[in-house]
Amino acid sequence: MMNWLLAELRRIGNTTKWSWDGWRSAWVREKSLRQWALVNVLSAALAFSLELSPGERALILALGLLLLAAELANTAIEEVVDYISEEIDPRAKRAKDAGSAVVAVTAIAGGVAWLVILIG
């Protein structure tokens, strides 16, 4: 039992390290991640300064984090496509554009949530 627990703790430690490495790498290279992080900070500040229900606040915060996750996934897609080939290929463009669309749809979802909360 103790060996299993130690192995799991090591696995969690490795996963945490790799995730942090991925975040740092994207932060340094991707201006859009830094921009969305700033939008998230402003959105969170507004969510805590307005009289929102806990559910509304949770939705805004969760969608903000989901937007950052979408941007990280988009970054991963772009990195892999660029690694595989530097040639112009319509499939590579479609993959990159689809990754960008994921970010856009997620951002729209956050905007819709804000709109519904503020209007409703």
Quote the crossing angle between the two packed helices 54-84 and 2-29, to the nearest 10°: 80
- Catalytic residue, from 8, 51, 56, 71: name it: 71
DSSP string across 17-86 = HHHHHHHHHHHHH-HHHHHHHHHHHHHHHHHHHS---HHHHHHHHHHHHHHHHHHHHHHHHHHHHHHH--
Active site residue 71: yes
Phi/psi of residue 43, each to 5°? -65, -45
Here the tokens at position 78 are 């772009």
Active site amino acids: 71
